[in-house]
């Protein structure tokens, strides 16, 4: 009886030991598989993070390229504006220089014109004075009086009458007289000047026709 119980106990112990060993062996067999899965999942997560980082880097690169493009465009526009401003400034300087030159030229021409006008006026005045002087002393006629009135006289040898002015000096035998006091046949010496085709007496000297 005791022997049978002892055998049973031994058998139970052996089964328990065998079961424990099998469980431990199964657990040992399961642990490498779980570790592989864990490592594989970690690797997949790392790969995904790397892929996300690559995408973010690509987006950042695109933004950087776009920003650089904007900078280049802005720089180009700035250069064009600077060139245009420089060109406009150069054109403005040229226009100002041209205007200044034209103003100086116009001023010089105006001064020359004024000088020519002044010289012309002086020449005209000199010519007028010369003509007046010549008319006062250079035009004379002598002859016998054909007729005489208070406004004009006429000599026998000249069909054109001499106009008498209020300023005309008339003398008869050396004495002051009026034109209508002169008698036909008197010897007359007259100085005159031409004006508008007429002869205007300046001075008339007459001598009586005494027989």
| For the chain, percent of residues with pLDDT exceeding 90 | 34
**Over the stretch 97-143, which tens digit does the pLDDT of each residue have?**
888 888 888 888 888 888 888 887 777 766 555 545 444 445 999 99
Burial of 146 (0-12, 13-18, 19+ CB in 10 A): middle
Q: Which two tokens stand for residue 28?
A: 């040992």
**Over the stretch 53-84, which tens digit does the pLDDT of each residue have?**
888 888 888 888 888 989 999 999 998 999 88
Angle at 24 between CA 19 and CA 29, to 5 degrees: 125
For the chain, the domains span 140-207
What integer pLDDT is reported at residue 121 of this predicted model?
A: 79
What integer pLDDT is reported at residue 20 of this predicted model?
A: 60
Cβ count near 170 (within 10 Å): 21
Provide the CB-side half-sphere exposure for 197 (13 A, CA).
Answer: 0
What integer pLDDT is reported at residue 101 of this predicted model?
A: 86
Q: pTM for the full model?
A: 0.36
| For the chain, percent of residues with pLDDT exceeding 70 | 77
In DSSP terms, which residues pair with 163 in a beta bridge? Answer: 152, 200
Return the CATH architecture of domain 140-207: Beta Barrel (2.40)
What radius of gyration do the chain's Cα atoms show? Answer: 71
Q: How does strand 162-163 pair with strand 152-155?
A: antiparallel
Q: Is 56 helix (H, G, I), strand (E, B) or coil?
A: helix
Cβ count near 135 (within 10 Å): 17
């Amino acid at each position: 009886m005791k022997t049978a119980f002892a055998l049973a106990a031994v058998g139970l112990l052996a089964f328990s030991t065998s079961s424990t060993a099998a469980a431990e062996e199964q657990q040992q067999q399961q642990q490498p598989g779980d570790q592989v899965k864990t490592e594989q999942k970690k690797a997949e997560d790392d790969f995904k993070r790397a892929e996300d980082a690559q995408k973010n880097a690509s987006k950042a690169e695109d933004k950087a390229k776009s920003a650089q493009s904007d900078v280049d465009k802005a720089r180009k526009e700035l250069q064009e504006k600077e060139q245009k401003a420089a060109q406009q400034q150069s054109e403005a300087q040229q226009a100002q220089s041209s205007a200044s030159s034209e103003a100086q030229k116009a001023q010089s021409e105006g001064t020359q014109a004024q000088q020519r006008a002044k010289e012309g006026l002086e020449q005209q005045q000199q010519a007028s004075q010369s003509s007046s002087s010549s008319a006062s002393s250079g035009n004379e006629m002598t002859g016998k009086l054909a007729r005489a009135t208070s406004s004009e006289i006429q000599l026998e040898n000249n069909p054109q009458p001499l106009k008498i002015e209020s300023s005309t000096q008339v003398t008869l035998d050396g004495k002051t007289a009026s034109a209508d006091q002169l008698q036909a046949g008197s010897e007359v010496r007259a100085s005159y000047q031409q004006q508008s085709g007429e002869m205007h007496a300046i001075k008339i000297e007459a001598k009586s026709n005494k027989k």
